Structure 1
Amino acid sequence: MSLLDLSIKELRNKLDNKEITAQALIQESVDRITELDPKLNSFITFDTDYVKSQVTDFQENQLLSGIPVALKDNIVTRDLATTCGSKMLENFTDPLYDATVAERLRTAGSINMGKLNMDEFAMGSSNESSHFGPVHNPYNLDYVPGGSSGGSAAAVAAGLVKAALGSDTGGSVRQPAAFTNTVGLKPTYGRISRFGVVAFASSLDQIGIFSKTVEDNAVVLEAIAGRDEMDTTSSVQEVPKFSELLETSMAGKKIAVPEEYMSDAINPEIRERVLEAIEVYRGMGAIVETVRMPHLDYVVPAYYIIAPCEASSNLARFDGIRYGYRADNTTDLDNIYEKSRAEGFGSEVKKRILVGTYCLSAGHYDAFYMQAAKLRTVIKQDFDVIFKEYDVILGPTTPDAPFKIGEHSKDAVKVYLNDLLTIPANLVGLPAISVPAGFTKEGLPVGLQLTGKAFDEVGIYQFAYAFEQATKYYQIKPEMKGGN
């Protein structure tokens, strides 16, 4: 058995008892990345000298001491490149500070193995828009791993690292987790600091966690959650010992399944896996009932107005003057702006900037952005009604299974609709988790999503843990087939 097959707590026990060394564990991670990542393309930056420098100087006797992790490449890391998967920031190779989550991981003793591939500026659902090429799904290399945190998902699924951080604006942790048979958590808005995370849509963005198991996920959340004076949107809520509160009886727990989550728009195989999951919960004594979420049809339109509007504002700083790529052979200031942004941004980013700028322009702000903001409030009211009676909301993480690389390259709407079931939690700031729920006939992973009340990460972890222990889908390893 590989050391990387053990849980974080098992590894910590072996390290504490001197049964293994951090050097041996990290070398195994280095070896796996060296061997497998050329097939996956999950890392943008992997520097063995940087890794070795940490192993000689990490914090011992901490929550994650000696544990190999990696970070999505929109999380700023001191002395290590942060590119956002873009040409615009390709040469941002020497940041002067760490994002709060990077600093907290280091303080907890973890070893950062590098920076992970992503859709450019986190805009995408397949990890095909990266300037550094697409990431491949470890369960079948011909398929996407989901996005925008596809590199993080693939690295964890393939066992290159024990955990990875991603960002989730409309499902960019949960959707790739579902596509790669991993656990992906988007916590409550404010649970984790966003300081040092390159902004896409500030009212929606949230750092999330990938792991193979619920327990590993909970351990990492303990290490990075909590108030940060550098982020005024971070919460003062107490951070529980999540990993010690996972076991509880499901008897009498109430689960809501919105009928809209199980409509004909959902792939039949996905729906079948979810129905099987419902029976697992019923077998454990939970009460599962169908409810209505009447405004779900408005989720994607509202998101694809709000997110581009905020993106157009946040990405205005990348102008070729203050930040990022500057074009050559320019004639004047306006020409610098035009050529630098035209050459520095990819097509998906340009598309969203243009949509956002249009929706915020005079004459359109009230008609588009304000209406989307009102819809956001209505959608929140749908959740409030359900949570008066139920503990969690259950459904598929995605409406469809992983698709082949390039399959939807000319159908943006099809790709956007992949976020239909994940976007609601971002719009209203609630915690949600995707947990492995089985496979399609083609051997492609399926995810089960659980959404909870604000700051009830303990609750959704308990539901996820109970299902995980009953099914143990996480034990099914990827075969790295395909890719011919």
Structure 2
Amino acid sequence: MTQQNMTIAALQQAYKEGTLTPKQVIKDALERCEQYLDHNIWIELFSLEQLQPYLDALDDSNMADKPLYGIPFAIKDNIELAGFPVTAGCEAYAYTPDKSAFVVQQLIDAGAIPLGKTNLDQFATGLVGVRSPEKWGPCHNSFDKDYISGGSSSGSAVAVALGLVSFSLGTDTAGSGRVPAAFNNLIGLKPTRGLLSTDGVVPACRSLDCVSIFSLTTDDANTVFNVAAEFDANDAFARPNVDTNKGNYGKVGDISFNFAVPQAEQLNFFGNTEYAEQFEKSVKHLENLGGKKHIIDFEPFFTAARLLYEGPWVAERRMATEGVDRHAMLQVIQDILATQEEARADDLFKAEYKLQACRQQVREVLACYDFILTPTAGTTYTIEQVQADPIKLNSNLGHYTNFMNLLDCSAIAVPTGFITSGLPFGVTLFSRAFSDARLLTYANLMQQSLRLPLGAIELECPDSSAPIAGTGDRITLAVCGAHLQGQPLNYQLTERGGVFLEKTVTANAYKLYALAGGPPMRPGLVRDKQGTAIEIELWSIPTATLGSFLAGIAAPLGLGKLEVTDGRWVTGFICESYGLDDAMDITAFGSWREYLLNK
């Protein structure tokens, strides 16, 4: 059977041209699913008859009004779909909801068709994909059935990798939406916590849970994200998206960017030298694309990660399974839930204080760089290896993932290569909350430049249809201090779709002052007949985001007109005269960077 191109753009084009219908796509997908039953992908695969109501709903629909018209997708079986049982990988827990999870309903309303409910590590507790009862069995890797698929969103990832659906929903509390992406050559988006509603999702750790997206391309991930990221007032943990995180996804223009990696001695590949080599290749590739690498101390991230299973958050997992006979669970799940049973309220507060200290330590690090890069996982294992040592090996896989939601980060897993066995390798790009569009943009840069085949189906990587990120009506903005590349507030430009234009200087008519206060430290630029040329950067940002940028500028600074050395007048930072009362004249340094290096 010929493999159908299941990317959203390809299916939409076929529908427009009349060469395919949604029913043909669904029928073909169900037939291909039968070929992969031994991969243990599904807890329940729907029949064509069960899917007919979804197809019928498209009959009177306008494709232009439904961004996911006729697009098949899979649902991890800890997420509710009306009229179909939810098991969370445990038969004793099963129940049938009368309405769909908010995020699922958003997708269906946009025209997507759910093909079935997918296998998972029981109660979404695991990163391996083998913690499923014998009835469903371990989910097998899409490249090599002897290897783990990654978990807990195992079936969701493998279904996309084998071209059975266009995208799928997983959940990601500790890495469950990224590790399976890495092991199956997929894009795995773990959005900002709260952007995708968890109403109708069986909780693992409710305060940390996140619905995730698996796709073949970043374009598809972005399309699904834009549909799914609707604020849900019924979800106590929901957060509305911010304007700077909307509409800024696309291709990276001809600009430099800054990324950070952990210190070499903090990287752990658990003896897998090929994974270490692949990560180094990924770093070099980003440098060749214009990225400037920075080295950071990763210990605050690791400290936060250890809190997830060594601290009182395990109690949240026990709360999620209250009322379920512990003996109905797999032994490994019982063992995990049995830890930290003696934790007290003061233990929770001690852990929260430690976590808050980590948050403070990483706050400026997250603000300084366009993204931080790590391996998604340090190694991979066979199913047999994991079954022989289920706790330790699972823990190894969370080395680079467990801290993300505790530290309120957004993240995306991206395929970057293959090891000699043919298994895929991937990296994760992450940053602070509400950086989803920016991370997708840099993930798109990597996918488009590497041109790896998609999933496990040898489908050629298509050209991205996205525009240059943040293009449209734009304004040139001059910055001279904390908004320069590599400085703590530069993210306020990049997250608004800002594009670096050039490094230059002002006319010979300005003085530079180090203002009182901070952090962050900031300079003030003042026009003065006795002044000189001061280093600046010119950036292009969409005029639609200029208002929010201006609103974030603290007195005594503001925006006004500034003269560039070539005679142009552009919008730039200026300083009110009263702000100089306690300021230090640093004009002699000629630039804010030189002052910081030599002060």
Q: Shorter chain as normaliser: what TM range?
A: 0.7 to 0.9
Match of 1:81 among 81, 85, 89: 85
SS of match in other structure, 2:200: coil
Structure 1 contact 39–141 (Cα < 8 Å) conserved? no
- Residue in 2 aligned with 1:314? 320
1:33 matched to 2:62: no
Distance 1:57 1:99 in 2: 19
Point out which structure has higher relative CO (alpha carbons under 8 A, 6+ apart).
1
More strand by share: 2
1:227 matched to 2:231: yes
Distance 2:212 2:224 in 1: 10
Structure 1 contact 250–281 (Cα < 8 Å) conserved? no
More helix by share: 1
Change (3 A) 1:230 1:302: same
**Structure 1 stretches lacking a partner, 5+ long:** 320-340, 480-484
Structure 1 contact 60–109 (Cα < 8 Å) conserved? no
Distance 2:405 2:312 in 1: 11
Displacement after TM superposition at 1:126 (Å): 1.0
Match of 1:174 among 170, 173, 178: 178
Match of 1:96 among 91, 95, 98: 98
Structure-to-structure mapping, 1:447-466, within 5 angstroms: 447-466=426-445
Displacement after TM superposition at 1:243 (Å): 7.7
Displacement after TM superposition at 1:290 (Å): 1.2
Query: For structure 1, which segment, 205-214 or 227-236, has the greater mean C-alpha deviation from structure 2 after superposition?
Result: 227-236
- Which of structures 1 and 2 has the bigger CA Rg? 2
Match of 1:388 among 367, 372, 386: 367
SS of match in other structure, 1:33: helix
Structure-to-structure mapping, 1:355-366, within 5 angstroms: 355-359=339-343, 364-366=344-346
Structure-to-structure mapping, 1:376-455, within 5 angstroms: 376-401=355-380, 403-411=381-389, 412-455=391-434
Query: For structure 1, which segment, 42-51 or 256-265, has the greater mean C-alpha deviation from structure 2 after superposition?
Result: 256-265
Displacement after TM superposition at 1:349 (Å): 2.5
- Residue in 1 aligned with 2:279? 274
- Residue in 1 aligned with 2:298? 293
Distance 2:118 2:243 in 1: 27
**Structure 2 stretches lacking a partner, 5+ long:** 459-599
TM-score, structure 1 normalization: 0.88
1:126 matched to 2:131: no
**Partner amino acid for 2:339?**
V
Displacement after TM superposition at 1:30 (Å): 1.0
Change (3 A) 1:273 1:166: same
Distance 1:377 1:291 in 2: 19
SS of match in other structure, 1:295: helix
**Partner amino acid for 2:315?**
C
Change (3 A) 1:9 1:478: closer
SS of match in other structure, 1:355: coil
Structure 1 contact 261–395 (Cα < 8 Å) conserved? no
Match of 2:447 among 468, 474, 477: 468
Structure 1 contact 108–223 (Cα < 8 Å) conserved? yes
Distance 1:302 1:446 in 2: 27
**Partner amino acid for 2:230?**
G
RMSD, matched Cα: 2.1
Distance 1:238 1:3 in 2: 39
Match of 1:200 among 163, 185, 204: 204
Displacement after TM superposition at 1:56 (Å): 2.0
Change (3 A) 1:243 1:428: same
Distance 2:159 2:131 in 1: 18
- Residue in 1 aligned with 2:328? 344
Distance 1:351 1:436 in 2: 33
Identity of aligned residues (%): 28
Structure 2 contact 184–455 (Cα < 8 Å) conserved? no
- Residue in 2 aligned with 1:47? 46
Distance 2:139 2:308 in 1: 25
TM-score, structure 2 normalization: 0.71
**Partner amino acid for 1:69?**
F
Structure 1 contact 70–114 (Cα < 8 Å) conserved? yes
**Partner amino acid for 1:205?**
D
Change (3 A) 1:410 1:292: same
- Residue in 2 aligned with 1:335? none
State the 4+ residue runs in structure 1 displaced beyond 6 angstroms.
239-244
Structure 2 contact 367–432 (Cα < 8 Å) conserved? no
